[in-house]
Amino acid sequence: MGSVNQGTLHAIRYAQSLRPDRLIAISVVETAEDRQKIDEAWIKFNLSDVELQTITSEYRDLTEPILNRIDELDAEYDDDLITVIIPEFVTSVRSQWLHNQSALAIKARLLFRPNTVVTSVPIVIP
């Protein structure tokens, strides 16, 4: 999650509907300013009931930091099934790859991970 937008909010609502024991949102940012913007948006949208974990990645690499954090959470909480919910923008076929490259990379890496479910939440952009 790089920003709090309608896709983020929709994915969080879906995650909450599953009634999980723990709900953790992971954000990857490049700078302290980006982190502050996410924190401010978290407050603005009243998301205090969802734990926000922010990872700083200098080169805006999303895949490795997210996968590493999922591994850490899996080790921390034994015997849990991890559900990774990814908001994905649904656009025209031509620009589909442009908006969802990170999501596809994360999903591909998680496909064969034990005890992991990956759910895409479509966000339609007309």
Report residues of the chain scoring pLDDT below 50: none
Q: Rounded to the nearest 10 degrees, how much is the dihedral formed by the CA atoms of 69, 74, 76, 80?
A: 140
Task: Judge whether 121 and 87 are in contact, CB under 8 Å.
Answer: yes
CA distance 125 to 116: 28
The predicted pLDDT at position 104 comes to: 83
The predicted pLDDT at position 100 comes to: 61
CA distance 3 to 80: 28
Taking each helix axis from N to C end, the angle separating 93-110 and 63-76, rounded to the nearest 10 degrees, works out to 40
The predicted pLDDT at position 85 comes to: 94
* pTM score of the predicted model: 0.84
